[in-house]
Structure 1
Amino acid sequence: MLIRVEIPVDAAGIDKLLRKSFPSEAESQLVHQLRENGLITLGVVATDDYGGVIGYVAFSPVMINGEELQWVGLAPLAVAEKHRGAGLGKALVYEGLDALNEFGYAAVAVLGDPAYYGPLGFKTAADFKLRCKWPDTESAFQIYPLAEESLNGISGLVEYSELFDQC
């Protein structure tokens, strides 16, 4: 298995993985649209010994109160069913966080299960007076600061690309 930054040849494998991993085609269509619009800041894949995509995580820009502050949102994260439970999702997320930190990004937002993302270091966004526009997501909306000072003086609305509204 190899974990690396996605390359164009991975697109079909990513699409297939997303279609199999989620109950609808929404995530697959989202990633396609983000890619088409140049809005994937970073995509990380896990491939098997034959180059097949068995895991994927995407990061795309988010705004804070309409301002660009070098923050990204993590979505989606997918692991092929037969590889789940072995830590591959965690490895993908950490690889992405390390790369984003090296590139100078400030923080990562995620809307996901706190039981999964909490142990990875994500913190409840509401604790920092941050929110997203989707209702009833306070406990699931989380932040991972990539730099100590990235949350200083920051509060308000974290805005994802309008493409996320179509999911």
Structure 2
Amino acid sequence: MLIRSEAPADILPIDTLLKAVFPSEAEANLVMTLRENGCRTLSLVACNDEGEVVGNAFFSPVTIDGEDHNWQGLAPLAVREDYQGQGIGLALIEEAKSVLGDFGYPAIVVLGEPAYYSKAGFEKALDHQLTCPWPNTEEAFMVCDVFSGTVAQHQGMVKYSPEFDAL
């Protein structure tokens, strides 16, 4: 399994992956819109031995109480169904932490399944006085330090790029 940064040739395979993994095309459309609007900070792909894209982790900027602290939102994370359960998603997250750290991005937020994301070091954001604008997300909105101690320095409302409002 090779994990690498997205290349232009990966755009359509990522789109196909997202349309296959999620119940609607909303996530695929979101990623295309974020990419077109220059809101992609990092997009990693996992490729099988044949070079096919079987996983994707996409990161875009978030703000805290309207201020940019270089934090990133992970959305979406997708692994092709026949490759799920093999640790590919967690490997994508670990590689992303390394790359984001290299470029000075200190923390990541995600809205997702707590049991899964806690395996990657995410904690409930509310425990750090961090919230997001979407209702009923207290358990699913999570945060992770890329640089130790970063999360403890900030509290408030975390907002994703305006493109997320279309979801």
TM-score with structure 2 length normalisation? 0.97
CA-CA distance at 1:48 after TM superposition: 1.9
* Counterpart residue number, 1:156: 156
Distance 2:90 2:154 in 1: 27
> What value does the CA root-mean-square deviation take over the aligned residues?
0.9
Residue 150 of structure 1: how far off its partner (Å): 1.1
Give the deviation of 1:162 after TM superposition: 1.1
Q: Which residue of 1 aligns with 2:56?
A: 56
Distance 1:113 1:119 in 2: 10
Matched, 1:88 2:110: no
- 1:13 matched to 2:13? The reply is yes
Q: Which segments of structure 1 move beyond 3 Å, counting only runs of 4 or more?
A: none
Q: What CA distance in whole angstroms lies between the structure 2 residues aligned with 1:80 and 1:152?
A: 35
Task: Report SS of the residue matched to 2:97.
Answer: helix
Which whole-Å deviations, capped at 9, do the CAs of 1:59-98 have from their partners, x for residues lacking one?
Answer: 1000011001010000000001110001111111111111
1:104 is aligned to 2:74: no
Within 2, Cα distance between the matches of 1:146 and 1:96? 9
Q: List alignment gaps of at least 5 residues for structure 1.
A: none
Any gaps of 5 or more consecutive residues in structure 2?
Answer: none
For 1:155 and 1:19, the matched residues in 2 are separated by 34
> For 1:42 and 1:145, how far apart are their aligned partners in 2?
17
Report the identity percentage.
Answer: 50
